[in-house]
């Protein structure tokens, strides 16, 4: 058939024209079991990246590396709790500027598969659901419960209007939108809830956008997680039998494209366990098998990044398993954003099925060794409660939860006094599942030991009537998968001394980040000499930049688990680099439980706050002797045993 020259070029795919918004479409083709993009058969090869886990200055670098890896799309979660921080209070600025992130994906020529939840799992705090939902005593999450649906619809009315103009048929690059997340794995199996969500998504996004679900391949999961009007996709990792896995999808979607929405390139890490790793060859082989079948694939994760601040979630598998600050995921792009051997193995597979973009893969970001940084104790935490809880303590006969205190993240100090002399060791104990999640116990401000959910729940103490008893309670992240996402935090039961309940508590919700954002500590000089007292404390150190804020890695030889709130910003680079200073800006409290030897990443950009992933040390921290210390000012929050 003779084609005009233009037609020949188009047919050969050598000339891409931008279809006008009126002609743009992304649809299912049930006859040919594929997607249609502007009417032509289309298969996507996608990778997951979460903007909330990548410093905004690094977004472009990571997305460009994903594009140069041969991906045609990226899959993006929108964490509800990252944006609606309190009921009706929204934050879409800085790292939370989801529209800027989406516009950057479009600029770089990437399509987007958007997953706005409202629940997203993702090993993210409470699976993306805001903890303030738990302030409503009768709420039942992820069901048709009226209180829950009212909050969901209120949120969707804010978010989805930001998404609609970016839909592919509207001229944007969002080709499909997922409703909920692995709902078939949730106990409720409430199809009325899914129907409500379908109605809300259609009302706010229109009738044309492709809406889908994702579930694992079990029959029960696909029975409870799918719904007429939502295209059902599945998720499975390397080592699965691809034919059987897609056979499961075919049982609910006899026609239409084969889609694996989460092909696991690695896995998540829990505190105290070895870093997960998955063979690159294994990942590449499974990818090739699926691409041979013509399936569309999203690799989960392509770049994992980091759980900044308090955003890491947890699992409950017979015991509470908090997820680490690192979300490296053994992904093709490392936590530091560096291409790995796994990325190049995947890129080679992709090149067998479609042309790779012309040009080199952007290299790993340059790293800089800033040398030793001596850390000095600035203050014991119990000596600065006036700063960290400026409104003063709440008095209560018995302990209150974080939710009752309306404290979402971080730490609460529970203070009382020994009601009687305890000359012989007495058992300080807590009922099962009442330590949520990790309580550091001080008597007369001296560290006695740590109580943990599913860990040690008793301690032996001696003292005199009136001695101060303090428990610093750390929320290590709300459960993000399964039936236990209604994960209340704090002291959920009464502490007892030889089985007699303790009472008359003073309770201090700590606002560490707020204090840091307001410039505390205002000086690095130690606040008070507490001598060798052992307990949670703030340490500070400083180092100098060479005038440019290069990424680096931070290691704390000998430390153990320390939560840090390290903030800073290169606000002024003097002529003399030795004068460049780090000052305080919005803090990011991060934590990292050191296994011997891990290196962590300190990364910032000249115009953005320093986000630091810091190590920890065995308790008490060994005093570091700074060798060639460089000046600057960086502050760390409690060093915890
Ligand atoms: C066996 C438990 C499966 C739970 N699902 C998981 S664990 C890692 C990933 C992410 O959480 C992702 O957000 C989930 O959709 C699927 N998945």
Give the tens place of pLDDT for each residue, 67-114: 999 999 999 999 999 999 999 999 999 999 999 999 999 999 999 999
Q: Is the CB of 181 under 6 A from ligand 1?
A: yes
pLDDT at 598: 25
Arithmetic mean of pLDDT over the chain: 85
**pLDDT-wise least confident of 351-365, 393-407, 525-539:** 525-539
Residue, of 5 and 422, whose pLDDT is higher:
422
Q: Is the CB of 26 under 6 A from ligand 1?
A: no
pLDDT at 515 over 70: yes
pLDDT at 555: 78
Query: Ligand 1 center to residue 121 CA distance, Å?
Result: 7
Query: Ligand 1 center to residue 75 CA distance, Å?
Result: 14
Summarize the confidence of residues 163-185 as an average pLDDT. 98
Most confidently predicted of 77-86, 271-280, 450-459: 77-86
pLDDT at 228 over 50: yes
Summarize the confidence of residues 203-226 as an average pLDDT. 98
Summarize the confidence of residues 449-466 as an average pLDDT. 94
Contact 163, 112 (CB under 8 A): no
For residues 463 and 482, what is the distance between their CA atoms, to the nearest angstrom? 43
For residues 209 and 201, what is the distance between their CA atoms, to the nearest angstrom? 9
Summarize the confidence of residues 618-624 as an average pLDDT. 28
Q: Is the CB of 301 under 6 A from ligand 1?
A: no
Name the closest-CA residue to atom 13, ligand 1.
122
Contact 306, 325 (CB under 8 A): yes
Q: Which of 164, 180, 259, 235 is nearest to 213 (CA)?
A: 180
Please report the DSSP string for 495-533 in residue order. -EETTEEP--EEEEE--HHHHHHTT-SS-SS-S---TT-
pLDDT at 575 over 60: no
Give the pLDDT band of residue 1 (cuts 50, 70, 90).
very low
Q: Where are the beta strands (DSSP E) in 20-160?
A: 26-29, 34-37, 40-42, 45-49, 73-77, 84-86, 89-90, 111-115
Q: Which of 482, 492, 487, 511 is nearest to 410 (CA)?
A: 511
Query: Ligand 1 center to residue 185 CA distance, Å?
Result: 10
Give the pLDDT band of residue 474 (cuts 50, 70, 90).
very high
Q: Is the CB of 182 under 6 A from ligand 1?
A: yes
Contact 267, 330 (CB under 8 A): yes
For residues 343 and 68, what is the distance between their CA atoms, to the nearest angstrom? 10
Token duo for residue 117: 């939840």
Atom of ligand 1 at shortest range from CA of 481 = 4
Contact 375, 540 (CB under 8 A): yes
The CA-to-CA distance between both ends of the chain, in Å, stands at: 76
ipTM of the complex: 0.98
For residues 179 and 271, what is the distance between their CA atoms, to the nearest angstrom? 30
pLDDT at 527 over 90: no
pLDDT digits (tens, 9 = 90+) for 295-350: 999 999 999 999 999 999 999 999 999 999 999 999 999 999 999 999 999 999 99
Q: Is the CB of 314 under 6 A from ligand 1?
A: no
Q: What is the pTM of this model?
A: 0.87
| Whether residue 180 lies in the annotated active site | no
Please report the DSSP string for 367-430 in residue order. B--------EEEEEGGG-HHHHSTT-PEEESS--BHHHHT--SSEEEEEEE-SS-EEEEEEEE-
pLDDT at 568: 33
pLDDT at 20: 66
- Alpha helical stretches, state H, 231-373: 242-252, 280-292, 341-351
Give the pLDDT band of residue 524 (cuts 50, 70, 90).
low
Helix (H, G, I), strand (E, B), or coil: what is residue 446? strand
Residue, of 378 and 510, whose pLDDT is higher:
510
Please report the DSSP string for 137-206 in residue order. TT--TTSS-HHHHHHHHHHHHHHHHHHGGGBGGGTSSEEEEE-SSSGGGSTT--HHHHHHHHHHHHHHH-
Q: Which residue has the tokens 């939860």?
A: 401
Q: Which of 436, 28, 445, 66 is nearest to 229 (CA)?
A: 28
pLDDT digits (tens, 9 = 90+) for 584-609: 222 222 222 222 222 222 222 222 22
| Whether residue 262 lies in the annotated active site | yes
Pocket test for ligand 1, best of 262, 298, 301, 305 (most atoms within 8 A of CB): 262
Contact 600, 616 (CB under 8 A): no
Q: Is the CB of 263 under 6 A from ligand 1?
A: no
Could you tell me what percent of the chain has a pLDDT over 70? Answer: 82
Name the closest-CA residue to atom 10, ligand 1.
122
Could you tell me what percent of the chain has a pLDDT over 90? Answer: 72
Query: Ligand 1 center to residue 393 CA distance, Å?
Result: 39
Atom of ligand 1 at shortest range from CA of 268 = 8
Radius of gyration of the chain (CA): 26
pLDDT at 250: 98
Q: Which of 624, 622, 620, 540 is nearest to 582 (CA)?
A: 540
Q: Which of 495, 466, 515, 513 is nearest to 396 (CA)?
A: 495
For residues 594 and 613, what is the distance between their CA atoms, to the nearest angstrom? 11
What angle do the packed helices 146-163 and 191-205 form, to 10 degrees?
30
């Amino acid at each position: 058939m003779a084609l005009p020259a233009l037609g020949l070029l188009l047919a050969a795919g050598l000339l891409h024209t931008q279809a006008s918004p009126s002609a743009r479409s992304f649809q299912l083709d049930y006859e040919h079991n594929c997607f249609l993009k502007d009417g032509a058969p289309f298969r996507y090869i996608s990778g997951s990246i979460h903007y909330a886990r990548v410093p905004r200055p690094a977004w472009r670098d990571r997305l460009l590396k994903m594009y140069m890896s041969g991906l045609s799309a990226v899959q993006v979660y929108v964490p509800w709790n990252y944006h609606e921080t309190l009921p009706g209070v929204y934050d879409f600025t800085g790292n939370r500027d989801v529209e800027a992130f989406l516009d950057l994906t479009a600029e770089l020529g990437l399509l987007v598969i958007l997953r706005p939840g409202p629940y997203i799992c993702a090993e993210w705090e409470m699976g993306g659901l805001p903890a303030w939902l738990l302030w409503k005593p009768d709420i039942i999450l992820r069901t048709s419960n009226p209180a829950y649906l009212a909050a969901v619809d209120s949120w969707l009315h804010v978010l989805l209007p930001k998404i609609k103009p970016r839909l592919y048929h509207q001229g944007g690059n969002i080709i499909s939108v997922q409703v909920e997340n692995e709902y078939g794995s949730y106990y409720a199996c409430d199809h009325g809830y899914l129907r409500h969500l379908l109605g809300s998504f259609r009302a706010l996004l229109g009738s044309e956008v492709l809406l889908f679900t994702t579930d694992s391949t079990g029959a029960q999961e696909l029975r409870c997680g799918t719904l007429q009007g939502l295209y059902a996709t599945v998720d499975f990792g390397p080592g699965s039998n691809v034919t059987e896995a897609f056979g499961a999808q075919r049982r609910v979607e006899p026609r239409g494209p084969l889609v694996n929405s989460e092909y696991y390139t690695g896995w998540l890490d829990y505190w105290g366990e070895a870093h997960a790793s998955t063979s690159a060859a294994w990942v590449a082989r499974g990818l090739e098998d699926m691409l041979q079948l013509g399936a569309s694939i999203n690799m989960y994760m392509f770049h994992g990044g980091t759980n900044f601040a308090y955003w890491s979630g947890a699992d409950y598998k017979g015991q509470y398993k908090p997820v680490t600050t690192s979300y490296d995921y053994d992904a093709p792009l490392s936590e530091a954003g560096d291409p790995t051997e796994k990325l190049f193995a995947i890129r080679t597979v992709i090149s067998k099925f479609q042309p790779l973009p012309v040009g080199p893969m952007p290299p790993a970001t340059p790293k800089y060794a800033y040398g030793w940084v001596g850390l000095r104790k600035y203050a014991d935490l119990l000596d600065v409660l006036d700063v960290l809880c400026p409104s003063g303590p709440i008095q209560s006969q018995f302990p209150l939860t974080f939710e009752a205190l309306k404290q979402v993240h971080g730490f609460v100090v529970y203070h009382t006094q020994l009601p009687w002399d305890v000359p012989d060791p007495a058992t300080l104990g807590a009922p099962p599942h009442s330590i949520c999640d990790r309580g550091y116990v001080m008597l007369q401000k001296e560290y006695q030991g740590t109580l943990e959910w599913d860990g040690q729940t008793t301690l032996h103490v001696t003292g005199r009537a009136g001695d101060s008893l303090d428990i610093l309670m750390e929320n290590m992240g709300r459960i993000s998968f399964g039936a236990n996402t209604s994960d209340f935090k704090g002291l959920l039961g009464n502490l007892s001394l030889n089985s007699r309940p303790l009472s008359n508590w003073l309770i201090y919700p700590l606002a560490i980040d707020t204090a840091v954002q307001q410039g505390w500590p205002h000086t690095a000089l130690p606040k008070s000499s507490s001598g060798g007292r052992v307990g949670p404390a703030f340490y500070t150190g400083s180092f100098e930049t060479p005038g440019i804020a290069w990424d680096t890695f931070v290691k704390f030889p000998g430390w153990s688990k320390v939560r840090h709130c390290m903030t800073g910003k290169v606000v002024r680079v003097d002529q003399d680099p030795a004068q460049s200073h780090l000052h305080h800006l919005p803090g990011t409290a991060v934590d990292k439980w050191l296994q011997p030897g891990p290196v962590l990443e300190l990364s910032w950009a000249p115009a953005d706050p320093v986000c630091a992933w810091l190590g920890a040390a065995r308790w008490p921290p060994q005093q570091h002797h700074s060798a060639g210390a460089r000046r600057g000012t960086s502050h760390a929050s409690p060093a915890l045993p």
